[in-house]
Amino acid sequence: MRMGKRKWCLLAAWLLMGLVGLAIGSAALPSIVPAGNLVNAQSTRTVDGNPSDWIGTPGADNSWVVSNGEGIWRDAASDDTGNGSYIYPNCTHTSPAIPDSKGWEGYAYAYTGYPGGGRRGGGMVDLREFRVTRDISNLYILLRFENMGSQAIAVEWNQGAHTAGSGANDTNFGKILAQVYIDTDRVSGSGRTDAAMLGNFEFDAACAWEVCIDVAGDVCRGYPRVELADGTIYYHNVSSDCYANCDIYSAIEMKVPYSEIGDPTGKTWRFMVVVGGFDEGRWRPVWDTEMAKLMGWPPMFRFIGGEGMDPPPGEPGNDPNIIDMAFTASKAEQEALLNSFTKLPGTGVVVINKYQDINMDTVPWIPIYSLPILLIIMTAILYVRKKKLSRFVEHQ
């Protein structure tokens, strides 16, 4: 039994509608993401250091919003002051060389190359945005900073490892250490409360973590590094997993597979984000100002204005070494938290209790562009069944 011209035309029309629906639905996808949730299978991001495919709209400074399937924390500018007294380090690679006689405020800061100009912070560790989204296999994270400087400045501390003319991703964020901690079960006391990579701070039991994602420019080991509460560690050393672009966007993008951290579908995860300087597999300590003067100026590659010093003979102290962080209501609140330590070494460290709960998809949904395709499939099934029935009747 042959299919008539009319039926062929109808089937072609259904197919055309399906293709048009697919195109329209794809273009309209951001507007049909369920409000209040992070998208499930529709938020893949290209990890290339260019944040243009992150389409959410941030809110006001020091606020959290969910927009177009992205969770977005907008951090205030110029709050990269740690406990309120941090000063960015100098370096000997500035050209021309900066004379010692200029004093504390007159130096170009190694973290951005800014001239001093009285500004205590340089901007490279001034967190401006934290974004997170996901697809069916990966968690995607975007970190944006006020001014990460240039590639030339970013590789200053890694000149021995950097190869001239190599890709910008080699050491593009070699001075920054960013950590994203995740409390996946939100059970008080479940997980770890100590800081990874020798961080000099702890977490409140209410946000004990199961996952820590370290981001730094250690070209010898590759980053991001994923550390689980049970001690399991995964290393990522390819640009498709993590890419920084300091010259144009001052941004770091990364993706982490669920096979390492668990699938968040239908769950609420608790996030904590802290940033500081990187120092060969650990947090870069913040020197005591007076001790730094005694050790000689300039204090190359060292933040000053903290408590304790590195290297010995001074003690590391209890200063948390965190330059900036997410989820505090104001600069004043952040500085008070990061200054809440005691001078007695080994006791009274800062306890981080600032976090954001992020809801993942819980309600299954069907993209609008899939409806014409479903109609085509249903029509084909009905046609096949009708054809089989007609043949059965004819056979009888």
- Of residues 260 and 165, more confidently modeled: 260
Give the mean model confidence (pLDDT) for residues 209-234: 82
Give the mean model confidence (pLDDT) for residues 252-258: 93
pLDDT digits (tens, 9 = 90+) for 287-336: 877 776 676 655 556 777 887 655 455 566 788 999 999 999 999 999 99
Write the DSSP symbol of residue 158.
Answer: G
pLDDT at 3: 53
**Global confidence as pTM:** 0.76
Q: Terminal CA-to-CA distance of the chain, rounded, Å?
A: 15
Query: What contacts 276, CB < 8 A, 6 or more positions away?
Result: 125, 176, 177, 283, 284, 321, 322, 323, 324
> pLDDT tier at 151 (50, 70, 90 boundaries)?
low
Checking if the pLDDT of 57 tops 90, the result is yes
> pLDDT tier at 100 (50, 70, 90 boundaries)?
very low
Percent of the chain with pLDDT over 70: 57
Per-domain boundaries in the chain: 5-29+369-395, 36-359
Write the DSSP symbol of residue 260.
Answer: H
Write the DSSP symbol of residue 205.
Answer: G
Checking if the pLDDT of 341 tops 60, the result is yes
36-359 belongs to CATH 2.130.10.10: no
Handedness of CA 171, 324, 67, 184 (dihedral sign): positive
pLDDT at 242: 81
CA angle 109, 113, 117 (to 5 degrees): 60
- From 75-79, 193-197, 241-245, 342-346, the region with the lowest mean pLDDT: 342-346
Give the mean model confidence (pLDDT) for residues 63-85: 91
Beta-bridge partners for 164: none
Helix axes 371-395, 5-27, angle to 10 degrees: 160
- Of residues 94 and 388, more confidently modeled: 388
> pLDDT tier at 102 (50, 70, 90 boundaries)?
very low
d(CA 231, CA 222): 18
CA angle 290, 154, 175 (to 5 degrees): 50
Checking if the pLDDT of 16 tops 70, the result is no
CA angle 207, 211, 216 (to 5 degrees): 110
pLDDT at 105: 40
**For the ranges 25-34, 129-138, 247-256, the one whose mean pLDDT is highest:** 129-138
